[in-house]
Structure 1
Amino acid sequence: MRKVVLATGIGHFVEWFDFGLYGTLAAMIGMQFFHAESQAVALLSSFAVFGAGFIMRPLGGLCFGSRGDRVGRKKVLVTVILLTSGATFVMGLLPTYSQLGVSATVLLVITRLVQGFAAGGESAGATTFLAEYAPSRRRGYFTSWIDNFGFMAFVAGSGLVFLLTAGLGEQAMNAWGWRIPFLLAGPLGLVGLYLRKHLEDTPEFLATVKNGLAEASPVRTAMVHSRGALLFCVGFVVIKAVGHWTLQTFIPNYLTSEMPHSTLDAYAITTIGLFVIAVIVPVMGALSDRVGRKPLMLAGCVGFILFTGPAMMLMARGDMFSAVLAMLILGLCIAAVDGASNAAMAELFPTRIRVGGMAIAYNVTVAVCGGITPWFSAWLMSMTGNPFSPAWVVMGAAFVTFLTVLCARETAGQRLPR
C-alpha cells in the first residue's frame, strides 16, 4: 500500500505541479503573452487562458474515463503524465508577445488546452487507483493522500517561484526567470512516468476483466444507470473546485493586485498556507474513516460559509501574520472537505464504471466552477468595486455542496460497489 501511495502520489504531484504553475505565475504570464494597457487587463486575459485549460477537462474525462474502465487505470495514469509534462515543458520554451505577436498567445492557449485535456484523466484515475487498493476501513485516509500530494505540488510551485523571485529579483523573474519552473516539468515528468509504469493495475479492475464484467461504454452506462451518483459527485466537487483554485490561483494574485502585499510576500503567504493544508488533509482523511464522510464535509462547508468573508478582511490588514492566518482558516475548511470527499466519490460508483463516472462528474464541475473562479472573482471585483466580493463565490459554492452532502447517504467503512 505504501508503494501504491508513493507511486500514485508522486505522479499526481508532477501532474499538478505542471498544471498549477500557470495559475501561480498568471500575473507574469499576462504581461508576457498579452498586449494589454494595464496589469489588470493582462491579468484578466491570463485568467481567461487559465480557464480555457478547464474547458478541455470534460473531453479529457470522457476519453480517459472510458479508457480507464475499459483497458485499465494504470495506462491512463501513464498517458496523462506524458501529455501534461510535455505541454508544460513546451510552455517554458514559447516566444513571448513582444517576440512573435499574437501567434505567441495562440501557442500559449494550445499548450494550456493540452494540459487541460490530460488533467481530465488524472484525478479520477488516481483516486480510483488508491480507493481500489485501500482496505475499506482506511479508504478515507489513503485516498486523502491524493490531495496531500496535489497541495504539496502547489507548495513546490509557489515555493519555487518565491525562491526564484527572491534570488533573481522581480525584474529578472519577469524577463526570463518565469521559464525555469516550466522547464523543470521535463525531468519531473520522467520520474513520475517511471514510477507509474512499474505499478500493477488494481485487483478490483483485474477481477472485473477476468469475470467478463468490463463495460464497452462505461461513460454511457454511468449517464444512463447512475444519474443519482453522478449528481451527488457533482455536488461534492463544487466547493472542491472553487476552494482549490481560489486558494492556489486567485489568492496569490489578489494579494498583490488588491491587497497591500508585495509579490514576494504573496508567494510566501501562499506557500505557507498550502503547506499546512497538505499536512492536515491526511489527518482529515483518517478522521473521516472514524466519524464518517458527511460530518467532515458538512463542517468544511459551514466553515467556508461563516469565515470566507472575515478571512479576506484579515488579508486586507496588510501584515504577513494576518494574511497567513486567513489562509490557514480557509485551509482548514478545504482540508476537511478534501479529506472525506475523495473516498466518498469513489464509493458512489461500481468498479466497471468508476473511473468514467467520476471523470465526467468531476471534470464537468471543475470546468464550470473551478476554471472560471479566478476570472469571475476578478471580474466581480471590477464590476462591484468591492475587494471582498470574491467571498460570495466561495460561500455560494459551499452552500451547494452543503445541501448535496445533507441528502447523501453515509458510505464510510463499506465495501466498494461491485
Structure 2
Amino acid sequence: MSSSPTTQHTGEPEVPKKVLHRAIGASAIGNAVEWFDYGVYAYMTTHIAAALFPEGDNAVFFTLVGFAISFLIRPIGSMFWGPLGDKIGRKRVLAMTILLMAAATLCVGLIPSYETIGIAAPVILYLLRIVQGFSAGGEYGGAATFMAEYSPDRKRGFYGSFLEVGTLVGFTLGNGIALILVNVLSADDLQSWGWRIPFLIAAPLGLIGMYLRSRIEDTPVFRELEDRDETEDEVKGVYKELLTKYLRPILTLFGLVIALNVVNYTLLSYMPTYLQNNLDMEESDALLVPFFGQIAMAVSLPFFGMLSDRIGRKPMWLFSCAALLIACVPMYQLMSQSLGMAIVAFAVLGILYAPQLATISATFPAMFPTIVRFAGVAIGYNVATSLFGGTSGAINDRMINATGNDLFPAWYMVGACVIGLIAAFFLIETKGESLRGTEIPGTEEAHREQEALAKSEG
C-alpha cells in the first residue's frame, strides 16, 4: 500500500508539478480517445448509414439511434464502474475503460457492410455501441474525479479545464480526419472503405492513453482515504444512501448536466448532420463549421478555468446558461445565411458554452465527498447524459421532420439552459475548497473535518 501523501499547512495534498502535469496529461488524453470515437461517429453518420443500414429515408435516423444507444447504457456502466472506482481506486478503473473503449471503436471500423451480412451489420454496430456506452459510464466520471483530486485546490478550475481541452481535441481530431477524407477520397472510396479509417486509428490512441495512465499513481486524496481504511466498508454504507443523504447534489448535478449535454451534443455532434440535411450545405463545408469553432473553444477553456478559480464556479454556470438562452435562436437563424455566418454563429455559441465545459472537473467532483465521489459523479452525470445528451441527435432529427421547424435544435437548447439556470442556483460554491475527507466540500461539516485532519497531522 502506498504511503500517505504529505500535506501543506492548508491541508491540501502536495503533489510535485511533474507528477501533476503527468496526471493531467493522462486524464486529458484518455478523455480525447473517448470523444474521438463519439466525434468520428457523428461526423461519419451519413456514411455509416449508407454502409451498415438498408437504403431508405430512416437510415440516418437509425444511425443516430445507434449514437443514442451508447448513452442509454451509460448509467449501467456508471453503476458498475463508479462504486468500483471508489473501492479499488480511480487509476485501475480508468485503465480498464480506455482499453474497452478503444477496442470497441476499432471493431466498428471492421464491421462488414449491410450488402455483405445484411441485418447483422446494424446489430453488430448496436452491440459495439453498447460496449462503448458501458465503458464511457466509468471513463468520464472517473477522469473528472481523477483530475479534480490531483489538482491544487486554488487552481482546480485551471487544471481541470484541460480535461475538456482533451474532449475538444478528440472531437477536432475526428473532425479533421473526416474533413481530410472527404476532400481527398472519391465519393465511392469514402463510402466503401474510407469512413472506416478514423475508427481504426482509435486502437493506437487507446494504447497511448493506457501507457500514460499506467505510469502514474492513484490520486493523493484517494490514497489518503485508503490509508485510513475508509475505502471499502464505508463506501458500501454511503453508496446505499446516495439518493437520500446526497439527494441535493445528485439533483443539482442532474440539472446542470441536462444543460451541459443537450448543448454539447446538439452543437458539437449533431451540427454537421443538421447543416447537410436541413440547410443543404456541402459535406466538406458542414465539417468546417464545427472545426474552427472547436479550436476557438479549446483555446478559451484554460482561461475560463482560471477565471473560475477567481470568481467561482457558480457565476460561470449562471452566465453561460443565461447567455445561451438569449443567443441560441438568433445564432441558428444566422447559420442559414452563408458558410461564413455559420462559422461565426457556431463560434459564438461555442464560446458562450465554454464556461460550462471548462469547469466540469472543478464543479462536479466537488459536489460529493471522496468516499462516494466517483460513484456520485459517474451515476448522476451518466443518467442525465443518457436521457438528454446522447439522444439529442435523434430527437432533433425526428422533431425537425415532424414539425418542419429547422430552429427546433435552438429551442431544445434554450429549454435545457432554463433547467441548467435553475440548477445553478442550488450549486454550493467550492472555489478553493479542499476535496479531502468524508463530508461534502464547501459545507460546515467539511470545514470542521478538515480542521481536525490538519490538527492531527501537526
Q: Deviations over 1:268-319 (max 9, x none)?
A: 11111111111111111111111111111111101211111111111111x2
Shift, 1:340, TM fit? 2.4
Aligned to 1:11: 30
Q: Secondary structure at the match of 1:30?
A: helix
Aligned to 2:223: 206
Q: TM-score, normalised by structure 2?
A: 0.89
Q: Deviations over 1:338-397 (max 9, x none)?
A: 122331111111111100000000000000000111111111111111111111110000
1:126 maps to which of 143, 167, 178: 143
Aligned to 1:273: 293
Any residues of structure 2 matched to 1:83-232 within 5 Å, and which?
Answer: 83-214=100-231, 215-217=234-236, 219-232=239-252
Aligned to 1:251: 271
Greater CA drift, 376-385 or 404-413: 404-413
Aligned to 1:407: 426
Which ranges of structure 2 fall in alignment gaps of 5 or more residues?
Answer: 1-19, 438-458
Aligned to 2:363: 344
**Paired residues of 1:17 and 1:154 also in contact (CA < 8 A):** yes
Instruction: Return the letter of the residue paired with 1:128.
Output: T
Greater CA drift, 280-289 or 403-412: 403-412
Shift, 1:417, TM fit? 5.2
- Runs of 4+ aligned residues of structure 1 deviating over 3 Å after TM superposition are none
Q: TM-score, normalised by structure 1?
A: 0.97
1:358 maps to which of 359, 362, 377: 377
Aligned to 1:234: 254
Give the Cα separation in 2 of the matches to 1:294 and 1:161. Answer: 37
Shift, 1:222, TM fit? 2.2
Give the Cα separation in 1 of the matches to 2:425 and 2:243. Answer: 23
Aligned to 1:372: 391
Instruction: Return the letter of the residue paired with 2:288.
Output: A
1:322 maps to which of 341, 348, 359: 341
More helix, by proportion? 1
**Paired residues of 1:19 and 1:88 also in contact (CA < 8 A):** no
Give the Cα separation in 2 of the matches to 1:220 and 1:92. Answer: 40
Give the Cα separation in 2 of the matches to 1:187 and 1:415. Answer: 37
Measured on the aligned residues, the alpha-carbon RMSD in Å equals 1.2
Greater CA drift, 22-31 or 46-55: 22-31
Give the Cα separation in 1 of the matches to 2:146 and 2:359. Answer: 16
Give the Cα separation in 2 of the matches to 1:290 and 1:170. Answer: 50
Is 1:397 the counterpart of 2:411? The answer is: no
**Paired residues of 1:297 and 1:341 also in contact (CA < 8 A):** no
Give the Cα separation in 1 of the matches to 2:80 and 2:125. Answer: 23
Shift, 1:320, TM fit? 2.0
Shift, 1:164, TM fit? 0.9
Count how many residue pairs are aligned between Structure 1 and Structure 2. 415
Instruction: Return the letter of the residue paired with 2:277.
Output: S
Instruction: Return the letter of the residue paired with 2:293.
Output: G
Instruction: Return the letter of the residue paired with 1:250.
Output: Y
Give the Cα separation in 2 of the matches to 1:16 and 1:300. Answer: 22
Shift, 1:240, TM fit? 1.3
Q: Deviations over 1:190-220 (max 9, x none)?
A: 1111111111001110111110111342542
Give the Cα separation in 1 of the matches to 2:324 and 2:45. Answer: 25
Q: Deviations over 1:318-350 (max 9, x none)?
A: x22101101111101220111223311111111
Give the Cα separation in 1 of the matches to 2:304 and 2:282. Answer: 33
Shift, 1:177, TM fit? 0.2
Shift, 1:228, TM fit? 1.1
Give the Cα separation in 2 of the matches to 1:20 and 1:162. Answer: 12
Aligned to 2:14: none
